């Protein structure tokens, strides 16, 4: 209680600044204040080539793999005002004096009369006005290219003639991103930069670590001839670097030193000189790319030296996003719900699909700490299934190829090598070496793909199992269906004393690592849900024998859970190796856990009465105005028995924090029991866009994407968010909003429409692309109910039930009456 009071007192004091606003017409968030509480960022490109740009111009770039193929050096722990892998300097000359400024504010500490950073869909645009000029910079990666474009325009608005030097600069990292930080002997001996000046005056700076010289090089060039350049950091910064990045000596002199580098800290800087009459604009576009060789890069280099091709590539990017988002658009009475569901949430799902938990300003993509997560990506794919099912299938195939013959899966893999490992379970001698849940998630993913596309042939595709000891061609191969069967068989067999599946090293909650023999109620319910999906699949392919078998397994696990895990007012969450329950009212800490309640409802295991009671307990013990806590109360000190969870203070992360990923599961459970108002309340509580109005100084994180966690009310800093972008919250909140609140879900028989909405909504509209047709759906709610479909008509004809059949034709108008 004491903690609660002080948290409240703090939030009264907080008067948040106004950092920016949502511009939905342009699908952008417009930041007007560069001094965000923590670094905010955007993603450009994809995992194939791309990375992060922060709102003050810092860049993390890689090709295919952030750990093993890094391009720029960005140290996220340093203050926001430090140089972070890239910037643009402007040297504005007027008569005899000059000023050095940066449109990114950093690292020159420039204060502009007007400044905006527009965080768009895979691009960021900066607009800065002051010192007699108007600057516009846009950064993006053209689709399918391996080059980061930086499109810079400078307009003279001073009323007189101006000379402006534009100096973009990037700092390179060793391709092995961790080595860059841990080895200051080998790395600098190998880093090399060759400068090539072409007849036209264009400069290409070619950079590589020596061993990659013949295999893969970075390059930096531009659309116009350069006055001068630098490849060596010390030459560029001058004064033996003592003045740092805020005032590079070469820029003061008005000429870079034309250095290449045979070792040391490699950079790529070029100076472009503009003499601008009043109102005139100068434009230069740079390219930072990576290819097998410079010769291989030349076609792309030539292409993007033409500014018209850059404009075309940018238009293509916008077209990609229009198509992607066009898969599902909504119009409900709630504007911020519309904005999240139409733009920012599906955009974030695209980001998590690409990056899993591999590269963010929190998961730094160094070493073998994190790759593409089996559990994480399986869930991420559920969030993009209606938008890009075929791309999702490709990633699902990779995941299936790191499943083991026994049925369980490797915890993560590295995309450039397809090597997989056991995640953190590698490091703990006395704990199981597998995760109890990983392999079950993929059943949900494959089912979702099949329902979206109807491509049942996919079940017959042959995919190898993972076996470290065998080369790829010698590994056992089996059909996708067989992979799924082994997933289920593994868990069916791997049960403990209570007949509940073993925990393994961990289940979804990475941080509860009980000794061997512990059982997980979450794994039990995920197993049950996977069985439900598998029964659907087997029915679709007409395999009656399997249907019967899986139905029996389902009934068995359902009975077990209800027999052993009901605590009186809610379900318990784990049994430890001795059979003691965690997440039980009998305990002093960790009395109740949110997953313990959501998943028995999602899996259909809970009876109606228990489902309602369990969800009531969630509301009573776990809900806060900032979201639902994962558990309560938190461990107050390290407990080696449970491990990681107790390394956090109470209220942080998995230790009773508001772990956002688990919130949509409660929303979904509430829609299943028909409580549309409560589901929507939970949706709103964690809507980051809602923090934009006066709560940013408490929340601190970006308002345009979901963070992973918010500190709970056992913590003094209640309301503080961290770990933006790469969180399962994105996929699941999107599913909760579209498939459960709006209730529009792909099935093998058609599009099911079964909303569970706030009673106050009298109607909503959705357009959804499904199996080649546009479904234009209008749902009316004249009686103000939350759930219940009274009638459905398609193109004017009434159907039975609420599943709109798969229809030929391009467009169908669907009217749904609730009541
Ligand atoms: C992180 C992990 C995810 C895990 C969750 C809860 O988000 O990426 O795999 O389920 O934490 O521990």
Residue 194 has pLDDT above 70, yes or no: yes
Per-residue model confidence (pLDDT) at position 605: 98
Distance 348 CA to ligand 1 centre (A): 17
**373 in ligand 1 pocket by Cβ < 6 Å?**
yes
Residue 13 has pLDDT above 70, yes or no: no
**370 in ligand 1 pocket by Cβ < 6 Å?**
no
Give the separation between CA 658 and CA 639, rounded to whole angstroms.
Answer: 21
Q: What residues pair up with 191 in beta bridges, in sequence order?
A: 209
Cβ count within 10 A of residue 630? 27
The residue whose CA is least distant from atom 7 of ligand 1 is 727
What Å distances lie between residue 738 and 710, 729, 753, 791, 792, CA to CA?
Answer: 24, 14, 10, 20, 18
The helix/strand/coil state of 273 is strand
What Å distances lie between residue 244 and 73, 108, 267, 389, 618, CA to CA?
Answer: 15, 10, 14, 48, 53
The atom of ligand 1 lying closest to the CA of 727 is 7
Per-residue model confidence (pLDDT) at position 7: 42
User: Looking at 366-370, 517-521, 693-697, which range is the least confident one?
Assistant: 366-370
Q: Which residues contact 409 (CB under 8 A, 6 or more apart)?
A: 374, 399, 402, 403, 434, 435, 438, 439, 442, 466, 487
Average pLDDT over residues 806-819: 95
Residue 6 has pLDDT above 80, yes or no: no
Average pLDDT over residues 648-663: 98
**665 in ligand 1 pocket by Cβ < 6 Å?**
no
Query: Which of the four pLDDT bands, split at 50, 70 and 90, describes residue 369?
Result: confident
What does DSSP assign to residue 279? T
**509 in ligand 1 pocket by Cβ < 6 Å?**
yes
Determine contact, residues 409/442, Cβ cutoff 8 Å.
Answer: yes
Give the separation between CA 24 and CA 21, rounded to whole angstroms.
Answer: 9
Residue 500 has pLDDT above 60, yes or no: yes
Give the separation between CA 293 and CA 796, rounded to whole angstroms.
Answer: 61
Residue 410 has pLDDT above 90, yes or no: yes
Average pLDDT over residues 788-793: 98
What Å distances lie between residue 100 and 94, 106, 138, CA to CA?
Answer: 12, 12, 20
Per-residue model confidence (pLDDT) at position 5: 39
**291 in ligand 1 pocket by Cβ < 6 Å?**
no
The atom of ligand 1 lying closest to the CA of 659 is 6
Average pLDDT over residues 165-181: 98
pTM over 0.75: yes
The atom of ligand 1 lying closest to the CA of 728 is 7
Average pLDDT over residues 717-727: 98
Per-residue model confidence (pLDDT) at position 428: 81
pLDDT digits (tens, 9 = 90+) for 98-148: 999 999 999 999 999 999 999 999 999 999 999 999 999 999 999 999 999
Distance 92 CA to ligand 1 centre (A): 49
The atom of ligand 1 lying closest to the CA of 373 is 9
pLDDT digits (tens, 9 = 90+) for 286-345: 999 999 999 999 999 999 999 999 999 999 999 999 999 999 999 999 998 999 999 999
Determine contact, residues 753/790, Cβ cutoff 8 Å.
Answer: no
Give the separation between CA 503 and CA 425, rounded to whole angstroms.
Answer: 12
Per-residue model confidence (pLDDT) at position 759: 98
Distance 380 CA to ligand 1 centre (A): 12
**732 in ligand 1 pocket by Cβ < 6 Å?**
no
Cβ count within 10 A of residue 482? 17
**437 in ligand 1 pocket by Cβ < 6 Å?**
no
The atom of ligand 1 lying closest to the CA of 654 is 12
**508 in ligand 1 pocket by Cβ < 6 Å?**
yes
| Residue whose CB lies within 8 A of the most ligand 1 atoms, among 505, 510, 594, 657, for a mutation test | 510
The residue whose CA is least distant from atom 6 of ligand 1 is 509
Picking from 672, 521, 503, the residue whose alpha carbon sits closest to that of residue 602 is 672
pLDDT digits (tens, 9 = 90+) for 252-278: 999 999 999 999 999 999 999 999 999
Per-residue model confidence (pLDDT) at position 1: 33
How big is the CA angle at 600 (ends 599 and 606), to the nearest 5 degrees?
160
For 777, list phi and psi in degrees, rounded to 5. -110, 130
Catalytic residue among 232, 380, 507, 510: 510
The atom of ligand 1 lying closest to the CA of 508 is 10
Query: Which of the four pLDDT bands, split at 50, 70 and 90, describes residue 437?
Result: very high
Per-residue model confidence (pLDDT) at position 132: 97
Q: What residues pair up with 746 in beta bridges, in sequence order?
A: 751
Distance 511 CA to ligand 1 centre (A): 9
The residue whose CA is least distant from atom 10 of ligand 1 is 508
**18 part of the active site:** no
Distance 287 CA to ligand 1 centre (A): 36
**357 in ligand 1 pocket by Cβ < 6 Å?**
yes
Distance 660 CA to ligand 1 centre (A): 10
Q: Which residues contact 608 (CB under 8 A, 6 or more apart)?
A: 673
Determine what percent of the chain is predicted with pLDDT higher than 70.
Answer: 98
The token duo for 10 is 């703090």
The token duo for 816 is 């749904």
Tell me the pLDDT of the chain averaged across its residues: 96
| Residue whose CB lies within 8 A of the most ligand 1 atoms, among 356, 376, 723, for a mutation test | 376
Distance 590 CA to ligand 1 centre (A): 18
The residue whose CA is least distant from atom 9 of ligand 1 is 376
Per-residue model confidence (pLDDT) at position 94: 78
How big is the CA angle at 685 (ends 679 and 686), to the nearest 5 degrees?
105
| Residue whose CB lies within 8 A of the most ligand 1 atoms, among 360, 375, 425, 661, for a mutation test | 661
Picking from 353, 367, 450, 368, the residue whose alpha carbon sits closest to that of residue 399 is 353
The atom of ligand 1 lying closest to the CA of 723 is 7
Residue 16 has pLDDT above 80, yes or no: no
Distance 362 CA to ligand 1 centre (A): 13
Distance 133 CA to ligand 1 centre (A): 47
**134 in ligand 1 pocket by Cβ < 6 Å?**
no
| Residue whose CB lies within 8 A of the most ligand 1 atoms, among 506, 508, 721, for a mutation test | 508
Query: Which of the four pLDDT bands, split at 50, 70 and 90, describes residue 387?
Result: very high
Distance 554 CA to ligand 1 centre (A): 26
């Amino acid at each position: 209680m004491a903690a609660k009071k002080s948290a409240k007192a703090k939030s009264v004091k907080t008067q948040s600044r106004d950092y920016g606003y949502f511009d939905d017409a342009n699908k952008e968030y417009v930041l007007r204040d560069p001094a965000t509480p923590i670094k905010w960022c955007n993603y450009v490109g994809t995992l194939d080539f791309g990375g992060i740009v922060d709102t003050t111009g810092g860049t993390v770039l890689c090709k295919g793999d952030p750990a093993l193929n890094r391009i720029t050096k960005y140290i996220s722990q340093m203050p926001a005002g430090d140089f972070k892998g890239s910037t643009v300097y402007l040297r504005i000359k007027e008569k005899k004096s000059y000023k050095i400024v940066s449109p990114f504010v950093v690292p020159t500490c420039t204060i502009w009369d007007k400044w905006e950073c527009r965080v768009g869909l895979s691009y960021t645009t900066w607009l800065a006005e002051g010192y007699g000029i108007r600057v516009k910079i846009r950064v993006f990666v053209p689709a399918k290219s391996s080059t980061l474009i930086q499109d810079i325009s400078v307009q003279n608005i001073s009323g007189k003639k101006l000379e402006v030097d534009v100096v973009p600069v990037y700092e390179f990292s060793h391709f092995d991103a961790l080595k860059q930080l841990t080895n200051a002997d080998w790395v600098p001996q190998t880093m090399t930069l060759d400068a090539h000046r072409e007849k036209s005056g264009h400069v290409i700076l070619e950079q590589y670590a020596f061993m990659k010289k013949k295999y893969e090089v970075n390059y930096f060039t531009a659309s116009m001839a350069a006055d001068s350049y630098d490849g060596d950091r010390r030459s560029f910064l001058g004064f033996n670097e003592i003045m740092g990045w805020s005032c590079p000596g070469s820029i003061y002199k008005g000429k870079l030193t034309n250095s290449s580098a045979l070792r040391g800290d490699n950079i790529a800087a070029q100076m472009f000189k503009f003499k601008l009459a009043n109102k005139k604009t100068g434009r230069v576009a740079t390219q930072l790319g990576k290819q097998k060789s410079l010769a291989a890069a030349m076609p792309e280099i030539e292409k993007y030296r033409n500014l018209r091709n850059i404009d075309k590539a940018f238009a293509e990017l916008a077209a990609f996003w229009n198509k992607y988002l066009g898969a599902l658009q909504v119009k409900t009475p709630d504007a911020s719900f519309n904005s999240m569901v139409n733009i920012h949430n599906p955009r974030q799902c695209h980001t998590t699909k690409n990056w899993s938990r591999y590269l963010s300003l929190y998961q730094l993509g160094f070493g073998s700490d994190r790759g593409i997560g089996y559990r994480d990506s399986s869930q991420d794919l559920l969030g993009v299934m209606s938008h890009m099912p075929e791309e999702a299938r490709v990633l699902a195939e990779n995941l299936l190829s790191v499943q083991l013959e026994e049925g369980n899966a490797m915890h993560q893999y590295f995309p450039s090598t397809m090597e997989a490992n056991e995640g953190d379970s590698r490091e703990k001698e006395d704990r199981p070496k597998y995760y109890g849940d990983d392999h079950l998630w993929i059943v949900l993913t494959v089912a979702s793909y099949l329902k979206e596309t109807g491509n049942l042939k996919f079940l017959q595709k042959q995919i190898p199992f993972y076996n470290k000891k065998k080369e790829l061609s010698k590994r056992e191969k089996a059909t996708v269906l067989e992979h799924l069967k082994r997933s289920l068989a593994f868990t069916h067999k791997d049960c403990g004393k209570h007949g509940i599946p073993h925990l393994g090293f961990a289940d979804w909650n990475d941080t509860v690592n009980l000794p061997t023999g512990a059982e997980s109620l979450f794994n039990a319910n995920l197993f049950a849900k996977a069985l439900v999906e598998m029964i659907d699949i087997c029915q679709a392919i007409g395999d009656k024998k399997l249907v019967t078998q899986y139905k029996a397994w389902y009934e068995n696990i359902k009975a077990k859970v209800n027999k052993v895990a009901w605590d009186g007012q809610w379900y318990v969450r784990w049994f430890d190796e001795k059979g003691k329950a965690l997440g039980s009212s009998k305990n002093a800490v960790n009395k109740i856990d949110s997953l313990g309640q959501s998943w028995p409802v999602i899996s259909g295991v809970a009876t109606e009465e228990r489902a309602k009671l369990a969800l009531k307990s969630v509301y009573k013990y776990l809900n806060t105005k900032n979201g639902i806590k994962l558990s309560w109360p938190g461990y107050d000190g390290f407990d080696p028995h449970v491990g990681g969870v107790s390394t956090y203070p109470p209220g942080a992360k998995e230790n009773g924090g508001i772990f956002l990923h688990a919130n949509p599961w409660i929303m979904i459970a509430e829609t299943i029991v028909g409580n549309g108002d409560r589901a929507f309340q939970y949706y709103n509580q964690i809507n980051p866009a809602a923090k934009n109005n006066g709560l940013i100084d408490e929340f601190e994180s970006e308002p345009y994407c979901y963070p992973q966690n918010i500190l709970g009310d056992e913590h003094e800093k209640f309301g503080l968010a961290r770990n933006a972008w790469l969180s399962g919250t994105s996929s699941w909140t999107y599913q909760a909003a579209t498939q459960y609140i709006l209730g529009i879900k792909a099935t093998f028989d058609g599009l099911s429409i079964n909303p569970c909405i706030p009673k106050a909504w009298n109607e909503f509209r959705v357009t959804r692309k499904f199996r080649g047709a546009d479904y234009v759906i209008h749902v009316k709610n004249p009686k103000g109910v939350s759930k219940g479909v009274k009638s459905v008509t398609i193109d004017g004809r009434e159907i039975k039930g609420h599943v709109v059949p798969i229809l030929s034709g391009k467009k169908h108008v669907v009217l749904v009456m609730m009541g």
